[in-house]
């Protein structure tokens, strides 16, 4: 389903960070988050890919796995996955109705005029955890929504945590400096629980290391605790605390996905021996994993990516630089959400293409094509507004050469819709 009336109503009340509501409501539901071991994944970019990779490796081991991610591209069902299958429309509708009834009973008379006391994200998180409990999954891989410290998912008691990356995004909520953003993401670190860390910049790594030490949480960071290397014809080589794997075949495209794979491999290695994927399961999982909208080829000569901030755009640009000239996209179809930084994305990607066409989808947060174009007037290539995505996609396809669509999760979903993906 695209959405649900209950979720549409909840969306009107926006975001409210904090843990007390969520913890109290989950206690009312019987603490479903305690029914299976949890891997808790935070990060500016890459956390969804790590969730999918970890889930794929665990499933290849024969385990029943629940995966929770956000936001979704096309269907809200994408957020709640068991054994690789999205929750059905009927199951999600029934679950949301049950949760609204439970919420009203939990709140009692206090519910009047408060927007129901819970946010969209809190209800979806509760839905995921309750669904995973009822489906009796063996392991849950849980993606943080925003930040970490005050995110609704941070009420869980994880078996291990991960901080995939730290970059500038959501600065209004998390702060303007990498150190402050790192501190918010490191809020998921729990006393004595291992934390796997990606290749963070020095200022962010220093903050995460300090918080991990303060909480006596074993920290696994590259290159000391784990490392991964891309060897062209030989695939990936991973060195971890308890295993060495070479010739790994990673289905997801892009050099940054190698680092995400390293985080995922180190993370599943933190599980107890009865849940830890063996070498064969790790190989099978990484070679089969799929994550829609992440450097995804959705049609001949059309690539879609969700890069929507400076770090994501730099990673995308790195991939473009590695392509042969005849395979490199010549047109960038760019659409972004309000509140993002179009200039940083445009500056990273524009040198890689011949032209930039701006667009927007129907999502209420989408920046209009015309406004977006005004932010990009100083780019080193022509920038032209192409209107709504329904028109802009055809205009872009009429240009000569391969096409890259980027800038927004919502835009990626709209393009997948138009192409029947």
Q: Residue 202's domain is classified under what CATH number?
A: 3.40.1190.10
Count: domains in the chain: 2
pLDDT value of position 112? 47
pLDDT score of 84: 96
Same domain? 75 vs 209: yes
Identify the bridge partners of residue 219 per DSSP, sorted by sequence position: 195
CB 186 within 8 A of CB 163: yes
Domain boundary among 261, 288, 315: 288
Check whether residue 360 and residue 221 sit in a common domain. no
**Residue where a domain terminates, one of 244, 266, 288:** 288
Q: Please tell me whether residue 376 adopts helix, strand or coil conformation.
A: coil
Residues of the chain with pLDDT under 50: 112-115
Q: For 319-364, how does the pLDDT look when each residue is reduced to its tens digit (9 = 90+)?
A: 999 899 889 999 999 999 988 889 999 999 999 999 999 999 998 8
Whether 67 and 117 share a structural domain: yes
Do residue 187 and residue 149 come from a single domain?
yes
Token digits of residue 244: 């060495």
> Over the stretch 73-130, which tens digit does the pLDDT of each residue have?
999 999 999 999 999 999 999 999 999 999 999 988 555 444 458 999 999 999 999 9
Task: Give this prediction's pTM.
Answer: 0.93
Domain boundary among 221, 254, 288: 288
| Closest by Cα among 16, 52, 274 to 142 | 52
Same domain, 244 and 324: no
Here the tokens at position 288 are 């089969």
Give the chain's mean pLDDT.
93
Are the beta carbons of 238 and 248 closer than 8 angstroms?
Answer: yes
Please give the full DSSP string across 188-233, using - where no structure is assigned. G--TT--EEE----HHHHHHHHHHHHHTT--EE-TTTT-EEEE-GG
- Please give the Cα distance from 70 to 145 (Å, whole number): 6
| pLDDT for residue 113 | 43
| Enclosing domain of residue 375 | 296-418
Residues 307 and 362 in one domain: yes
Same domain flag for 310 and 370: yes
Residues 92 and 113 in one domain: yes
């Amino acid at each position: 389903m695209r959405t649900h009336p209950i979720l549409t109503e909840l969306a009107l009340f926006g975001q409210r960070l904090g843990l007390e509501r969520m913890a109290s409501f989950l206690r009312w539901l019987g603490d479903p988050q305690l029914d299976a071991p949890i891997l808790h994944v935070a990060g500016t970019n890459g956390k969804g890919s790590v969730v999918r990779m970890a889930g794929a490796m665990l499933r290849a081991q024969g385990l029943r796995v629940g995966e929770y991610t956000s936001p979704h591209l096309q269907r809200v069902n994408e957020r709640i996955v068991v054994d690789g299958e999205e929750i059905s429309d009927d199951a999600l509708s029934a679950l949301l109705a049950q949760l609204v009834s439970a919420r009203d009973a939990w709140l009692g008379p206090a519910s009047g005029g408060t927007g129901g006391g819970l946010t969209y994200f809190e209800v979806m998180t509760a839905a995921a955890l309750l669904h995973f409990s009822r489906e009796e999954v063996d392991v849950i891989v849980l993606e943080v929504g925003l930040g970490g410290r005050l995110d609704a998912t941070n009420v869980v008691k994880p078996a291990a945590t991960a901080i995939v990356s730290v970059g500038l995004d959501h600065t209004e909520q998390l702060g303007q400096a990498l150190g402050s953003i790192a501190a918010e993401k490191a809020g998921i670190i729990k006393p004595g629980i291992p934390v796997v860390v990606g290749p963070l910049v020095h200022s962010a790594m220093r903050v995460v290391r300090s918080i991990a030490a303060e909480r006596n949480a074993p920290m696994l960071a590259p290159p000391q605790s784990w490392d991964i290397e891309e060897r062209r014809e030989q695939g990936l080589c991973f060195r971890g605390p308890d295993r060495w794997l070479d010739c790994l075949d990673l289905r997801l495209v892009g050099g940054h996905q190698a680092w995400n794979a390293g985080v995922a491999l180190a993370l599943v290695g933190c599980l107890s021996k009865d849940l830890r994927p063996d070498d064969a399961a790790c190989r099978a999982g990484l070679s089969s994993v799929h994550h829609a909208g992440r450097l995804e080829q959705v049609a001949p000569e059309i690539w879609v990516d969700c890069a929507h901030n400076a770090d994501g755009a730099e990673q995308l640009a790195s991939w473009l630089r590695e392509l042969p000239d005849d395979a490199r996209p010549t047109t960038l179809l760019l659409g972004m959400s309000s509140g993002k930084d179009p200039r940083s994305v445009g500056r990273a990607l524009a040198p890689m293409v011949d032209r930039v066409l701006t667009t927007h989808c129907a999502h209420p947060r989408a920046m209009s094509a015309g406004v977006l174009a005004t932010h990009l007037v100083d780019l080193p290539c022509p920038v032209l507004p192409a209107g709504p995505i329904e028109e802009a996609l055809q205009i872009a396809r009429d240009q000569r050469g391969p096409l890259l669509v980027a800038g927004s999760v919502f835009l990626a979903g709209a393009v997948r819709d138009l192409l029947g993906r």
